[in-house]
Every structure is written in structure tokens, then in C-alpha cells.
Amino acid sequence: MKEKGLFLLVGAFLIIAYGCACRQVVKSPNIIDVTPQAKELKKEVVTQEVEELIITKEEKLEIKEEMLEEEKISEAVVSEEEKRVLIPPVVEEKKAEEEKAKEKEKAEEVTIAEVVKPPVKPSVGIEEEIAERVKDILRPGERLTFRITYSGMKVGTGVLEIKGVTPIKDQESLHLISMTKSTGIFAFIYRVNERLDSFMDCLGRHSLRFEYHSYGKEIHSSVTTYDQKNHLAYYKGKKIPILPNTHDPISALYSLRLLPLKEGEEVAININTGEENKRVGVRVIGKEKVRTVAGEFNCLVIKPYFKDGSDSEKRTLKIYLTNDARKIPVCITSKLPFGQVVLSLERASGC
């Protein structure tokens, strides 16, 4: 009896549980109607929603593209307007004129390096050929002696000499010498006894070393060495930046003799005098026949001037070079505020 009662109790419990479960299924809103009509209706709804979603995305893309295009056009217009406001036509014209002036100046300036120096990475044969040409014009052993006068009165003597080839560090150089000495009564009034030694590279492009010695009332000496590769001059313990292919005052004079100078033409030379750098323009202003104690010569007249315009109007320097391949200096004149200094050739040897 007990077992039968227990069996009936379990059965009743299962029946009650099943009934509750069925009622819960009927009440649940998540149960999908699986009839064919319901399926078809659901399919149509889903399809419509997908189509609306696709249309919405396409419209958004089109709108976005249109907005981006409008922004680009707007930016371009604004940029052009800003340019017109910020860079007026007058400023643009001035800038163009400045650029043209710079290009013209570069075209007019012909440096010693451009005329004499070999091409980039020249062969040994080309360097030797140029060196031989330089030696043919600037012949070792050449010695020129000048008579120096001031307002017609002799005041001293001057010498320009090509001593020969001398090694400077790992380079061969032409040793050039300039000597000036006062004489006669003028030596008592103003004693001058100076010697300048210049060492120019054998291709005539630039200076390697410059020495100044004065033996007047007081003795002064100075040495300037040039690092042309790094564009530096070393003078009295100072490093001084220099321009490419810089000359000292003596090598600059000799470098002129290497150029194919013609009347009406102009060249430019970079010159260093210790602490000071100068860019010197050289004009061929004409031809003249010059008579000195050494003879009569057809000459080119050379007029140097400072490119920065620092020349004095009362001081004019002219150099007279023979109008031939060797361009030997036969006369140098310097007009001063009170009179004129003239160096005229007296003797020439080793030419």
C-alpha cells in the first residue's frame, strides 16, 4: 500500500509539472509561429528591412562624398583668396625681380677657379697639362724690378719674383715674392722695407700660404695658412672662414695672368688679407701703349674694385698687363687723395 501510494504521488507530481510547462510555453512571447503563412510574412518583413538598410547606407555614402567634395572646393577657394590677400601682386613682382637679379649676377661673375681649375675629378694628365701651361706663363726665375715714384719723384724700388716650385704640406706650390723698399730722402721720412711671400697652388686656383714681413722702424711678421678644402684661414691663432678658391694679394695678381682677359670683360676674385675677406671685381677697361725704362709695350688696362662698393672715389688702382699670352705687369698706378704712386718696369729677367 505504501509503495502504491508513493507511485501515485510521483505520477501526480509529473502530471502537474507537465501542465505548468505547457502553460508557460503558450504564454511565452518568444515562441515563433511555425505555420507557412507566418514564415512568409516574416520573410517579407525581413527583406523590406534589409532593403531599407541598404538604401540608407548608399544614401549616407553619397551624402558624405558630396560633403567632402564641397569641403575641397571651399578650401581651394579660401586658399586662393588667402594667397591673394597675403601675397599681393607687388610682392610677387618684387620677388621675381630679385631672383632675376641674383641669376644675372651669378652669370656675370666668372671666378678664377671657373677659368683655370680642371674639371671635377680630373685625370692626372689634365692636371699635368694645366700645370705645364701655368709654368709656361708664370716661369720660375722670372724677376721684374720696378721704379716707384710719388708725384714724379722716385721714392723706392719694388720687385716681383717667381722663385720656383715649393712643397706646402702635401702639395706643390709656386713660390711668389714681392719686395718693396723706400730709397733716397724718402727713406729717412718714411722707412719702408717689406717682403711678402705667397705660395699658390701649381694650377693657379688659390693660395696655400701667405707670409708678411716688415723690417721698417719696427719688425712685424705674420703667417696665414689656407685650408681650401674646408674654406678656412688660420691667422694669429684664429680660424677665419673664407670663400672658395681664395687668394692672397700677391697670388691674386699672378692669377690674373692666367685668364683669357679681353676688353670689356669682367672677372671676380676672392682675396683674404688675414682677418679680412674681400671679393674683388676686375674689369678690362681698355688698351694702351705704355712706355717705361724697360721699353714700350701694348697693354690691357685692368681696373680692380671691391664688389661691396667700399672703394674710395679718390683712390683708383690700375694695372697694365702686356697684351699677349704671358700678360706681364709693366706698370701699376694708384691715385691717392694727394698725388699718385706709380710702379713702372725698369728691368725684366728670366722671362
Q: What is the pLDDT of residues 44-63, one digit of tens each?
A: 544 555 455 444 555 556 66
**Higher pLDDT residue, 300 or 79?**
300
Question: Is the pLDDT reported for residue 10 higher than 50?
Answer: no
Span of 211-215, 242-246, 288-292, 313-317 with lowest mean pLDDT = 313-317
Q: What is the mean pLDDT of residues 168-195?
A: 90
Judge whether 182 and 193 are in contact, CB under 8 Å. yes
Give the per-residue pLDDT at 25.
39
C-alpha cell at 170: 702635401
Mean pLDDT (the chain) is 77
Q: For the whole model, what pTM was predicted? A: 0.64
Question: Is the pLDDT reported for residue 305 higher than 70?
Answer: yes
Q: 277: pLDDT confidence band, cut at 50, 70 and 90?
A: very high
Give the per-residue pLDDT at 191.
87
Question: pLDDT tens for residues 330-343?
Answer: 999 998 888 899 99
- Residues 333-341: contacts with CB under 8 Å, at least 24 apart: 339/150, 339/151, 340/150, 340/151, 341/148, 341/149, 341/150
Write down the domain spans for the chain. Answer: 112-117+124-349
* Integer Cα distance of 298 and 323 in angstroms: 6
Question: Is the pLDDT reported for residue 17 higher than 70?
Answer: no
Question: pLDDT tens for residues 87-144?
Answer: 455 556 666 777 776 666 555 544 444 444 443 444 556 677 777 888 889 999 999 9
**Higher pLDDT residue, 256 or 96?**
256
Give the per-residue pLDDT at 116.
42
Number of alpha carbons in the 13 Å side-chain half-sphere of residue 162: 26
Give the per-residue pLDDT at 133.
82
- DSSP assignment, residue 336? E
Pick the CATH number of 112-117+124-349 from 1.10.3470, 1.10.357, 1.10.720, 2.50.20: 2.50.20
Give the per-residue pLDDT at 107.
53
Strands 277-292 and 295-306, how do they pair?
antiparallel
Give the per-residue pLDDT at 61.
63
Q: What is the mean pLDDT of residues 190-205?
A: 93
Give the per-residue pLDDT at 258.
93
Q: What is the mean pLDDT of residues 34-51?
A: 52
Q: Which residues contact 149 (CB under 8 A, 6 or more apart)?
A: 155, 341, 342, 344
**Higher pLDDT residue, 71 or 220?**
220
